[in-house]
Structure formats: structure tokens, C-alpha cells
Amino acid sequence: MLEKLDIKDKKLIYDLDFNARMPLTQLARKIGVSKQVAKYRLESLQKKNIIQGFYADINSSKLGFEIYLVYFKFQNFNLKIEGEFINYISKNNFVGVNVSINGKWDFCVGIWAKNVVDFKKKYEKIMQKYEKYVKEKIVMIETGFYYFKPRRVLDKKDNSQIKMDEEISNYELDKIDKKILTELSNNCRISLVDLSGKIGLTPNGINQRIKILEKRGVILGYRVMINYSLLGFLHYRVFLHLEDLTSETKKKLIVFLGNMKEIISITETIGYCDFEFRAIFESIQEFYTLIGKINGEFPNIIKNYDSIIYHKFHQTLNYFPFD
């Protein structure tokens, strides 16, 4: 059932994204209500499944990992087998994205790996029983991304972004850092007191470590997992196949896409396509209107495009799916 949000609920979602650890008192001031009302509204959005979770956006490249996205088209794949497949891959701690989709592909799995050899080993582990159901697949490596607030929800122009566009490095984490990142990836609104109970370090000690991880660029931000379908939006991922792309044109394309309120992320990739972006629309017509604008602005580099629509995320995005 579609949910109609009032302006305060929309502001709550919008203001929390990128800063989902924001205290209730600060959130209440931002949306103009009491702390008790802010708490009630937040819990209500969670109960309605409009907010599916809160997660820390972890910079995988800082930790020496690459993100491999695998898109599948299945055959002879009934509901029973699909359920087993979803349940099995959800238990693997190197899988960060696990989502059913509609369109050219049926399913997407995101695997965090050190390199292509590590990816191959992990892929074979999760797919050895299910490869026989794969009719077709593609693999892409994310080389950079730009995330935007859900501007279309509030119908607001805002170019603030979270981005990852740097080379792979190897920031060393100790066991306590790993525990902190694991907990924040599962629920970044967890309190310092609760973190202290889980990890065995003082709240102040944990807070200092979190600040260091933020300063070093390991933690990029704190996000809200939004169920756009319940708000009446179609959640698209669009694959752009380009030609004659120069560094200057690439910059212009990123800026152009980033200025559109419908777009919630842009990803540079190696593999199936050159660029991807995710966007939310209230209708298919809005989707085609945006595609027309892109083709009109960049007529000489867009060879073609294709797209999928997200159907269901089977787990909240996990940006720390590591051992």
C-alpha cells in the first residue's frame, strides 16, 4: 500500500540521510517538532517499512577492496529455488548487495573482493549449486561513485554528495575497528552506550575511534535505507554505454546528472557499461523525459542504454561485508 507522507516526515527522511547518527534532539529542531514527536515519527516510518534501516557507508577502496556487481538472468528458476538461493547468499559475509530486479536482469549480487582472483573464488562459493540456473550474466567493477540525498522526495535542489573516486589503498583496521564498522553497517543509529556493551570499550573510546575512521575517509557517511516503492516511486538503475568519452566530457556528464533531482547515485564502472545511475520516478514518462534530456545534452557519446527496476532488497545494504 502506498504511503502519503506529510512535509515533516519527508524532511525527517531527507535530513537524516548522510547523517543518520543525528541525535533525536537535533533532528527534532530541524523538522520543527518536539523530541518525543520526532521519535514517534521515526519509529512510525520504520514500522511502516518506509525506512528499512540505517547503515554506515564504508569506503571499500580505503580497505583494499573492490566492489563486483553481478547481474543474472535465470532459467528454470522457480520460487522454491529462488528462496533457497536468496537465503544462502544472504549468509555469506562478503555479499553486500542482494536484490531482486525487473527488466533485462532478474537479480543482482554485490561481492566485495581484494582482486579478481579473490572475486572468482567467492563467486564460485556462492554459485556452485546455482550456476546451472544462470542463463546469462554480466560482471562489473565499481571504480567510483557519487551518492546524493533523496531530493525527489522533498522536491529540493541540493548538490551535496558522498563520493568515492580514489585509488585502492590498505588502511589497517584492528579488531575493535572491525567490530565498530560491523555494528555501524548493520545499524548506524546504535548508541555509543550500546556499542560499548557489544564491544567492551568505553563510549568515549568508541567515539574517538569513530571520529578517526571518519577523518581518514573510511566512514563516508551514515545513510537511510528508503523503500521508495511504498512512496510511489519507480526505482531505476540505468546503464549508459558510451563512446569517445574524454575526461572533460566525463566531468560534464557527472555534473549534469548530479544536478537532476531524480538521480540518487552515479557509478563509474568497468565491464558491461561505462556509467550507471540510480534514479526515482513517479511514472515511466518521467523516466523517458530524463533519458531524453541526457541524449539531448550528450548526443555524441551516448551509444545506447538499458535499465532495470529494483523490486526487493533482501537485506539492508552492507558496506562492511568482510570476514
Specify if 264 maps to a domain.
Answer: no
pLDDT tens for 194-216 read 999 999 999 999 999 999 999 99
User: Is the Cβ–Cβ distance between 22 and 15 less than 8 Å?
Assistant: yes
Q: How high is the pLDDT of residue 97?
A: 86
CATH code for the domain in which residue 73 is found: 3.30.70.920
Specify if 35 maps to a domain.
Answer: no
Q: How confident is the model at residue 125 (pLDDT cuts 50, 70, 90)?
A: very high
Name the nearest CA neighbour of 278 among 289, 268, 267, 286. 267
Q: Residue range 91-111: average pLDDT? A: 91
pLDDT tens for 257-309 read 999 999 999 999 999 999 999 999 999 999 999 999 999 999 889 999 999 99
Overall number of domains in the chain: 1
Task: Kindly tell me if the per-residue pLDDT of 323 is higher than 70.
Answer: no
- C-alpha separations of 3 from 131, 197, 223, 248, 283 in Å: 39, 36, 21, 42, 16
Task: Kindly tell me if the per-residue pLDDT of 96 is higher than 80.
Answer: yes
Q: How high is the pLDDT of residue 1?
A: 52
Specify if 88 maps to a domain.
Answer: yes
User: CA-CA distance, 306 to 291, in Å (whole number)?
Assistant: 10
Specify if 45 maps to a domain.
Answer: no
Instruction: Give, for 237, the enclosing helix (H) or strand (E).
Output: strand 234-242
Specify if 103 maps to a domain.
Answer: yes
Question: Residue 102 sits in which domain range?
Answer: 61-142
Specify if 105 maps to a domain.
Answer: yes
User: Is the Cβ–Cβ distance between 172 and 209 less than 8 Å?
Assistant: no
pLDDT tens for 249-266 read 999 999 999 999 999 999
Task: Kindly tell me if the per-residue pLDDT of 2 is higher than 90.
Answer: no
Q: How high is the pLDDT of residue 4?
A: 84
Task: Kindly tell me if the per-residue pLDDT of 166 is higher than 80.
Answer: no
- Phi, psi for 193 (deg, rounded to 5): -65, -45
Mean pLDDT over all residues of the chain?
Answer: 93
Q: How high is the pLDDT of residue 316?
A: 56
Task: Name residues whose C-beta falls within 8 Å of residue 126's C-beta, 6 or more positions apart in sequence.
Answer: 88, 89, 92, 95, 109, 111
User: Helix axis angle, 284-297 relative to 247-258, nearest 10°?
Assistant: 150
pTM here?
0.91
Residue with cell 525487473: 102
